Structure 1
Amino acid sequence: MKSFFKYVLATITGIIISSILMFFILIGIVTYMVSSVSPTSETVTPSNAVLLVTLDHTITEKTEPNPFEGLDMPGYSSMRSIGLNDILSRIQAAKEDSNIKGIYLNVKGVNTGFATMKAIRDAIQDFKASGKFVVAYSESFTQKAYYLSSVADQVYLHPEGGLDFRGLASSVMFFKDALDKVGVDMQVLKVGTYKSAVEPYIMNSMSEANREQVNSYLGSIYNTFVNDIATGRKLNADSIRGIADNYAIKYPEDAVKLKFVDSLLYKDEILAKIREKLGIDSKKDIPTISLLDYKNTPSTGKGTADRVAVLYAYGAIVDGEGSTGMIGGDKLSRDLRELRNDDKVKAVVLRVNSPGGSALASDVIWREVELTKKVKPVIVSMGDYAASGGYYISAAADSIFADPTTLTGSIGVFGVIPSFQKLFNEKLGVHFDAVKTGKFADMDVDMDRPLTEEEKSIIQGSVNRVYQVFMKRVADGRKMTVANVDSIGQGRVWTGAQAVELKLVDRLATLDEAVKAAAAKAKLTDYRVTEYPRAKDPLSEIWSVSKEKVKGMLIDEELGEYAKYLKELKRVTTQSGIQARIPYMIEIY
Structure 2
Amino acid sequence: MRFLQTVLANVIGTFITIGLFLFLGFLFILALASAGDATAPVPSSAVLTVDLQGSLTERVSGDPTLQAFAGEPAYSVHDLANAIRRASEDDRIEAIWLRPGLLTTDWASLEIVRRAIDEFSDSGKPILASSPSYFMRESEYYLASGADEVYLGPESFFEFNGFALQVTFYADLLDRLEIEPQVVRAGSFKSATEPVTQTGMSPENREQLSGIVRGIENVFVRGVAEGRSLSEDDLRSRMQNDAMISAQDAVDAGLIDGLAQEGDIRSMLADRLGLEDVGDLRTLSMKDYVRSTGRTANAPNDIAVVYIGGPIMAGDDDGNPFGTSVSATSGRVTEALRRARDNDRTRAVVVRVNSPGGFAPAADAMLAEIRRVAEDLPVVISMGGVAASGGYWVAAEGDRILAESSTLTGSIGVFSLFFEVGPFFNEKLGITFDQVATSPYADMFNAVEGFSAAERQLMQDATDGTYERFVRLVAEGRSLEADRVREIAEGRVWTGAEAVRIGLVDELGGLDEALEIAADMAELEEGAWRARWYPRQQTFLEMLTGTLGSGGAALVETLGLEGALHRRASAVPEMENAVSHLRTLVESRGTVQARMPFDIRID
Residue 175 of structure 1 corresponds to which residue in structure 2?
170
Residue 511 of structure 1 corresponds to which residue in structure 2?
511
Residue pairs, 1:252-263, within 5 angstroms = 252-263=247-258
Deviates more, 1:276-285 or 1:432-441: 276-285
Shift of 1:89: 2.5
Unaligned runs of 5+ in 2: 1-15, 319-324, 548-553
Residue-by-residue CA offset, 1:239-291 (whole Å, 9 max, x unaligned): 00011112343433321121100111122211110122233343516322222
Residue pairs, 1:360-375, within 5 angstroms = 360-375=361-376
Residue pairs, 1:112-261, within 5 angstroms = 112-138=105-131, 139-261=134-256
Q: Name the CA distance, whole Å, in 1 between partners of 2:503 and 2:431.
A: 54
Assess, with a 3 A threshold, how the Cα gap between structure 1 residues 82 and 434 changes in structure 2: closer, same or farther: farther
Residue 32 of structure 1 corresponds to which residue in structure 2?
28
Residue-by-residue CA offset, 1:190-209 (whole Å, 9 max, x unaligned): 00000011111111111000
Report if the CA contact (8 A) 1:349-1:518 is conserved: yes
Q: Name the CA distance, whole Å, in 2 between partners of 1:395 and 1:463.
A: 19
Deviates more, 1:405-414 or 1:130-139: 130-139
Residue 568 of structure 1 corresponds to which residue in structure 2?
581
Report if the CA contact (8 A) 2:138-2:159 is conserved: yes
Q: Name the CA distance, whole Å, in 2 between partners of 1:430 and 1:47.
A: 74
Residue pairs, 1:185-584, within 5 angstroms = 185-284=180-279, 286-294=281-289, 295-297=291-293, 303-323=298-318, 324-444=325-445, 446-525=446-525, 526-544=528-546, 552-562=562-572, 563-576=576-589, 577-584=591-598
* Matched residue SS, 1:441: coil
Task: State the superposition RMSD in angstroms.
Answer: 2.5
Shift of 1:549: 5.3
Give the TM-score, by structure 1 length. Answer: 0.90
Residue-by-residue CA offset, 1:450-484 (whole Å, 9 max, x unaligned): 22121111111100000011111111111112111
Shift of 1:28: 4.5
Q: Name the CA distance, whole Å, in 2 between partners of 1:389 and 1:549.
A: 29
Count, aligned residues: 565
Residue-by-residue CA offset, 1:322-360 (whole Å, 9 max, x unaligned): 412211111111111221222210000111111111101
Q: Match for 1:89 among 82, 86, 92? A: 82
Residue 13 of structure 2 corresponds to which residue in structure 1?
none
Assess, with a 3 A threshold, how the Cα gap between structure 1 residues 552 and 66 changes in structure 2: closer, same or farther: farther
Deviates more, 1:164-173 or 1:383-392: 164-173
Code of the residue aligned with 1:213 in structure 2: it is: Q
Shift of 1:485: 0.7
Assess, with a 3 A threshold, how the Cα gap between structure 1 residues 270 and 320 changes in structure 2: closer, same or farther: same
Assess, with a 3 A threshold, how the Cα gap between structure 1 residues 80 and 28 changes in structure 2: closer, same or farther: farther
Residue 15 of structure 1 corresponds to which residue in structure 2?
none
Code of the residue aligned with 2:99 in structure 1: it is: N
Q: Name the CA distance, whole Å, in 2 between partners of 1:315 and 1:522.
A: 29
Report if the CA contact (8 A) 1:58-1:81 is conserved: no
Residue-by-residue CA offset, 1:370-425 (whole Å, 9 max, x unaligned): 12111110000111101000000000110100111111000000011112213211
Q: Name the CA distance, whole Å, in 1 between partners of 2:285 and 2:254.
A: 29
Assess, with a 3 A threshold, how the Cα gap between structure 1 residues 506 and 359 changes in structure 2: closer, same or farther: same
Unaligned runs of 5+ in 1: 1-19
Shift of 1:298: 5.5
Shift of 1:512: 0.7
Residue 5 of structure 2 corresponds to which residue in structure 1?
none
Q: Name the CA distance, whole Å, in 2 between partners of 1:571 and 1:26.
A: 38
* Matched residue SS, 1:107: strand
Q: Match for 2:599 among 574, 580, 585? A: 585
* Matched residue SS, 1:60: coil
Q: Name the CA distance, whole Å, in 2 between partners of 1:459 and 1:90.
A: 51
Q: Name the CA distance, whole Å, in 1 between partners of 2:165 and 2:22.
A: 43
Shift of 1:47: 2.5
Q: Match for 2:59 among 57, 62, 79? A: 62
Q: Name the CA distance, whole Å, in 2 between partners of 1:29 and 1:230.
A: 53
Shift of 1:39: 8.0
Q: Name the CA distance, whole Å, in 2 between partners of 1:34 and 1:104.
A: 30
Assess, with a 3 A threshold, how the Cα gap between structure 1 residues 26 and 96 changes in structure 2: closer, same or farther: farther
* Matched residue SS, 1:415: strand
Code of the residue aligned with 1:567 in structure 2: it is: S
Report if the CA contact (8 A) 2:267-2:278 is conserved: no
Residue-by-residue CA offset, 1:96-122 (whole Å, 9 max, x unaligned): 333222211112321111111111111
Q: Name the CA distance, whole Å, in 2 between partners of 1:391 and 1:41.
A: 42
Report if the CA contact (8 A) 1:93-1:296 is conserved: no
Residue 41 of structure 1 corresponds to which residue in structure 2?
37
Residue 10 of structure 1 corresponds to which residue in structure 2?
none
Deviates more, 1:226-235 or 1:55-64: 55-64
Code of the residue aligned with 1:35 in structure 2: it is: A
Assess, with a 3 A threshold, how the Cα gap between structure 1 residues 65 and 454 changes in structure 2: closer, same or farther: farther
Shift of 1:66: 6.5
Residue-by-residue CA offset, 1:185-243 (whole Å, 9 max, x unaligned): 22111000000111111111110001111112221221121011100000000000011
Shift of 1:68: 5.6
Assess, with a 3 A threshold, how the Cα gap between structure 1 residues 28 and 247 changes in structure 2: closer, same or farther: farther
Residue-by-residue CA offset, 1:268-319 (whole Å, 9 max, x unaligned): 211110122233343516322222333134587x654211111111111111
Code of the residue aligned with 2:536 in structure 1: it is: R
Assess, with a 3 A threshold, how the Cα gap between structure 1 residues 68 and 176 changes in structure 2: closer, same or farther: farther
Q: Name the CA distance, whole Å, in 2 between partners of 1:86 and 1:451.
A: 50
Residue 51 of structure 1 corresponds to which residue in structure 2?
48
Q: Name the CA distance, whole Å, in 2 between partners of 1:25 and 1:378.
A: 45
Shift of 1:48: 1.9
Q: Name the CA distance, whole Å, in 1 between partners of 2:62 and 2:414.
A: 34
Shift of 1:34: 5.0
Residue 11 of structure 1 corresponds to which residue in structure 2?
none
Code of the residue aligned with 1:163 in structure 2: it is: F
Residue 4 of structure 1 corresponds to which residue in structure 2?
none
